[in-house]
Amino acid sequence: MHCLSGNSTMMHIAMKSGMKIEYAYGEADAYLSLTPTDQTSIMAKMLQEQAAVFDYAIKRQAQRASQVFQAFMPTLDVA
């Protein structure tokens, strides 16, 4: 992340996130160090992605089914 060192809101977010902050010439750069990936984290990410795709497909199918039902159901206009 790159910002002015006087930007207290962004500096607070960087510090709260555990970023390493380097100051130079009135500007600040913040770096987030991540742990290296391993087989467990790769598999967890793959399973999360599959679960998200499945969840999206279920919700999209439910929305389309609702649209079909609404198209065939007459609406009552009360005047």
pLDDT in tens, the chain (79 residues): 889 988 999 999 999 999 999 999 999 999 998 889 999 999 999 999 999 999 999 999 999 999 999 888 877 665 5
Domain membership flag for residue 79: no
Domain membership flag for residue 65: yes
Total domains in the chain come to: 2
Domain containing 57 equals: 36-73
pLDDT given at position 61? 97
Query: Are 6 and 19 within one domain?
Result: yes
pLDDT given at position 77? 63
pLDDT given at position 35? 86
pLDDT given at position 76? 64
pLDDT given at position 79? 57
Beta bridge partners of 29: 2, 22
Query: Are 11 and 40 within one domain?
Result: no
Query: How far is the first Cα of the chain from the last one, in angstroms, to the nearest whole number?
Result: 58
Domain membership flag for residue 67: yes
